[in-house]
Amino acid sequence: MSALNDIQAALVAAWKADAPLTLLVGDAVFDSPPRDKTPPYAAIFRHDAVPRDGDETPGLVHRIVVHCWVPHPARRGALEIAHRIERVAVAGPLAPSENIITLRRHARTETAIDLATGRARAAVHLRFHSEPAE
């Protein structure tokens, strides 16, 4: 399994196990944006990784963007989902099977109202460092 898949699987599992997030979105947490899914839900929108230089242990810097959608134009609901996504990602139990996460950081959260649908979205930007577990 690639490091990207491993980290994503660990995040999605942790989010689905989080009771406060489940109250907000049910089991609607996805590792990619779903088609034809009615909000509320959260989905990994983007996941980029680049090699991390500077030491002899191979590692990656992951930049992950999670979109949190609600079915109405109120940012408050999207931000409540975003808060749980961020808290679990940064401080919750993550258990990747083939990698060790050496850094977890919340970079920023931004909000928008989609003019075509009238739905609110929060985008949570996360940063992780990972190394292979040996």
The rounded average pLDDT for each run of 10 residues, N- to C-terminus, in the chain (134 residues) is 92 98 97 94 97 78 98 96 98 95 97 96 97 88
- Spatial separation of the C-alpha atoms in residues 47 and 60, rounded to whole Å: 12
Report pLDDT for 134.
78
In a domain, 99, yes or no: yes
Q: How many CB atoms lie within 10 A of CB 113?
A: 14
Report pLDDT for 106.
98
In a domain, 21, yes or no: yes
In a domain, 6, yes or no: yes
Burial of 53 (0-12, 13-18, 19+ CB in 10 A): exposed
> What's the domain range around 14?
1-35+71-114
In a domain, 85, yes or no: yes
3-state secondary structure of 35: coil
In a domain, 122, yes or no: no
In a domain, 51, yes or no: no
Q: Total domain count for the chain?
A: 1
DSSP class of residue 38 equals P
In a domain, 108, yes or no: yes
Report pLDDT for 57.
72
In a domain, 86, yes or no: yes
Report pLDDT for 118.
96
3-state secondary structure of 37: coil
